Amino acid sequence: MEFSLVDDTVTIDLYFPYNTPEMEETDYSYSLYTDEEKSYSNDDYTATYNFKPYDIDFFLYDGKYMMPYWVANYFLNTLNYCNIFFNKREFIFCYCDLGDVKSSDLRKIRNNPMTDSAPLQKEREDQLNQLAFYFENIFGVKEDEGFDKFSDILTSTLRKNLTSESGKDILKGYKHLSYVDIDDLHTSITQAPFYLKENSPQTSTSDIGQFYYNFYMLGDELESKRRDILKNHANDYVRFYDDTAIITLQGFETGETDKLKDEEGNILDSAKDVDSFYLFRYCMEEIAKYSQNTKQVKNVIVDLTTNGGGNVGAMIRCLGYFIEDIYLEDYYKGYNHISSVCYHVDTNMDGECDASDVYSQYNWSVLVSGYSFSAANSFAICAKQAGIKLIGQKTGGGMCSITPLALIDGASIYTSSPSCTTFYPDRANGVYEFTDVQYGINVDVEIDDYANFYNDEYLDNLADSLYSK
Query: Which of the listed CATH numbers 3.90.226.10, 3.90.1300.10, 3.20.20.70, 3.40.50.1580 matches domain 211-323+358-399+436-466?
Result: 3.90.226.10
Q: Which pLDDT does position 378 carry in this prediction?
A: 96
Q: How far apart are CA 406 and CA 413, in angstroms?
A: 7
Give the Å distances, CA to CA, from 44 to 15, 47, 136, 151, 182.
Answer: 11, 9, 20, 30, 29
Q: What is the pLDDT of residue 424?
A: 87
Indicate the pTM of the whole model: 0.93
Alpha helix locations (H) across 81-134? 103-110, 121-133
The region, left, alpha or beta by phi > 0 then psi within -120 to 50, assigned to residue 57 is beta
Phi, psi for 32 (deg, rounded to 5): -105, 135
Burial class (CB in 10 A: 0-12, 13-18, 19+), 206: exposed
pLDDT (0 to 100) of residue 97: 85
Domain coordinates of the chain in residue numbers?
A: 2-208, 211-323+358-399+436-466
Spatial separation of the C-alpha atoms in residues 154 and 76, rounded to whole Å? 28
Q: What is the 3-state secondary structure (H, E, C) of 238-258?
A: EEEECCEEEEECCCECCCCHH
- Dist CA 353 CA 33 (whole Å): 8
Q: How far apart are alpha carbons 87 and 196 in whole angstroms?
A: 11
Q: What are the strands, taking DSSP E only, across 184-237?
A: 188-191
Q: Are 377 and 440 in contact (CB under 8 A)?
A: yes
Residue 261: DSSP 8-state = B
Helix spans in 240-391 (H): 271-274, 276-293, 312-319, 375-385
**Burial class of residue 55 in the structure, from the number of CB atoms within 10 Å of its CB (0-12 exposed, 13-18 middle, 19+ buried):** middle
pLDDT single digits (tens) 126-177:
999 999 999 999 999 999 999 999 999 999 999 999 999 999 999 999 999 9
Start-to-end CA span in the chain (Å): 57
Nearest to 399 by CA among 141, 123, 219, 59: 141
Answer yes or no: are the C-beta atoms of 77 and 18 closer than 8 Å. Answer: yes
Which amino acid is located at 153 in the chain? I
Kind of pairing between the strands at 244-248 and 299-303: parallel
Helical (H) or strand (E) element with 366: strand 363-368
Closest CA to 395 of 309, 279, 275, 299: 309
pLDDT digits (tens, 9 = 90+) for 84-108: 999 999 998 888 888 877 777 888 8
Neighbours of 191 (CB within 10 A): 25
> How far is it, in rounded angstroms, from Cα 104 to Cα 186?
29
Adjacent-strand bridge partners of 40? 340
Model pLDDT, residue 345? 97
Name residues of the chain where pLDDT drops below 70. 15-24, 469
Bridge-based pairing state of the strands 363-368 and 46-50: unpaired
Rounded CA separation 408/67 (Å): 13
Q: What are the distances in angstroms from CA 233 to CA 238, 246, 372, 421?
A: 9, 11, 21, 34
Beta strand ranges found along 128-229 (DSSP E) = 188-191
Angle subtended at Cα 24 by Cα 20 and Cα 26, rounded to the nearest 5 degrees:
100
Give me the pLDDT at residue 323, please.
98
The whole-angstrom separation of Cα 65 and Cα 48 is 17
pLDDT at residue 148, rounded to an integer: 93
